[in-house]
Structure 1
Amino acid sequence: MKNQISGQVIGIPISSTAYPAEMPLDGILCIASNQYCASPNFRQSKIELIRIRMNKLGQKVENLAQGIRNHVKLGPKLSETVKGKLRLGAKILQLGGVTKVFKQNFSVSTGEKLLKASQCYLSTTAGPIAGLLFISTNRIAFCSERSIKVSTSAGDLLRFRYKVSVPLNKINRANESENVKDPSRKYINIVTKDDFEFWFMGFFDHQRTYEFLQLAVYESQ
């Protein structure tokens, strides 16, 4: 990741090597999950670049990825997902609202205001993670609904929230798309200026969230 992005984008982004326009959208998550596997469609230089980046990340990434996989494997079924969302809603009320949840999980700058918070899923290389997407006057941010367990090299077990934070002025564009087989399944794709992608889905209020995101990105330019 380039220096101007490093340290500001938190999380594991998905390299936007290419998603062919003609490819059905129900294949997007499959591509993301296999992003680091060799494919005839990838140029050799791209493959080598990905390998170099992954080697640099080392065992920490392996531990984190395994933690996310376990998080996804233990993920609830539909009925449990609904219960989880209700629990999350109750927790938000208990903490005093989404603004306090946002400030509790991220270092909020002076004058930064929360514009919109939405429950959704973030696509990762290990599968979708449920959580909250925050849109503020300074950034877009995501925090997982549940803690992820990761084992350290010393054998200790760590628990932490999976978080993503991208400054608005580092976002190149935000796209809206839908599944060609099921138009009710909509996605929001965020591409950074460093050519990394984040995919969000499963919004209760997809259109309104997308409109807030578009406005926030536009006003930050």
Structure 2
Amino acid sequence: MKLTVTDVRLGPKITDTVKGKLSLGARIIQVGGVEKVFMQLFSVKEGEKLLKASQCYLSTTSGPIAGLLFISTEKVAFCSERSIKITSPNGEVKRIHYKVLIPVVKIKCVNESQNVEKPSQKYIEIVTEDNFDFWFMGFLTYQKAFRCLQQAVSQAQRTELLN
């Protein structure tokens, strides 16, 4: 897959971006921390540990979506900062958060990439066993997120080999 997003913008207006970040921060504080947000959004197995949470963007066919990427010992999960509108089959409009959940044992590989014209723009590609790929970008701490993701996948692969 060739990444079509050439430049990640924070939002249509800086005020919208600031509102989104403040809203996310308020939600994290209200719930009691990032780990509790993770547990609230995604089912967590006994013994599962959250390794890292990073603000980033998920590349979609509709453009990048801002949110939080959670890396745990069991899964890689993303939840959008803002809700999106969807229309149900009966025509009802609902607002939901865009979520992605990838079991770590189903990840085939994790690749790093960068924009050739702007090397400071770095991307992480996750390829699953069934050849779906997910592109994440716009990390504040790209290297930490990439290393943590690599460690989670290699640990899951070692565990699979032992079982």
Name the TM tier (shorter chain).
Answer: 0.7 to 0.9
- Counterparts of 1:1-221 in structure 2, within 5 Å, are 18-19=1-2, 28-29=3-4, 76-221=12-157
CA offset digits 1:76-130 (Å, max 9, x no partner) = 4244324422331222112101111101111111111100000110011111111
Structure ranking higher in helix proportion: 1
Higher relative contact order (CA 8 A, sep 6+): 1
SS in structure 2 at match of 1:213: helix
How far is 1:205 from its partner?
0.8
Q: Structure 2 length normalisation: TM-score? A: 0.88
Q: How many angstroms apart in 1 are the aligned matches of 2:139 and 2:150? A: 16
- Equivalent-residue separation in structure 1 for 2:96 and 2:19 (angstroms): 21
State the distance in 2 between where 1:126 and 1:112 align.
32
Matches of 2:87 and 2:16, distance apart in 1: 26
- Partners of 1:103 and 1:82 lie apart in 2 by 25
TM-score by length of 1: 0.65
SS at match of 2:83: strand
Q: The residue matched to 2:140 in structure 1 has which SS?
A: coil
1:18-46 deviation digits (Å, cap 9, x = unpaired): 54xxxxxxxx125xxxxxxxxxxxxxxxx
Counterpart secondary structure, 1:29 = coil
DSSP-derived class of the 1:84 partner? helix
Counterpart amino acid of residue 130 in structure 1: A
| 1:84 partner letter | G
Equivalent pairs counted in the alignment come to 153
Which structure shows the higher strand fraction?
2
Rg (Cα) greater in structure:
1
Distance in 1, matches of 2:67 and 2:40, equals: 15
What letter matches 2:27 in structure 1? K
**Matches of 1:184 and 1:143 in 2, distance apart?**
24
